Amino acid sequence: LFNLENDLNSSIIKVFVGDIKDSQRLKSLFKDIDIIFHAAAYKHVPLCEYNPLDAVNTNVLGTQNVIDMAILCDVKKVILISTDKAVHPANVMGATKFLAERLMMAASAYSDDGTKFSCVRFGNVLNSRGSVIPLFKKQLKQGGPITLTDEDMTRFIMNIYQASKLILQAGMLSQGGEIFILKMPAFKLSDLVDAMIEFYAPVYGYNPEEIDVKIIGKRPGEKLYEELMTSDEMLTAYDNGDLFIIRDELNKKHPDFIYNSNEIDHLTKDEILRILSEMEN
Which residues does the annotation mark as catalytic?
85
φ/ψ of 188, rounded to 5, equals -85, 135
Q: Using the CB atoms, write b or e for 198-223: b if 16+ within 10 Å.
A: bbbbeeeebeeeebeeeeeeeeebbb
Beta bridge partners of 80: 38, 119
Q: CA-CA distance, 72 to 101, in Å (whole number)?
A: 20
Listed residue (170, 193, 199, 200) closest to 182, CA to CA: 170
Half-sphere exposure of 142 (CA within 13 A, CB side): 9
Q: CA-CA distance, 140 to 200, in Å (whole number)?
A: 7
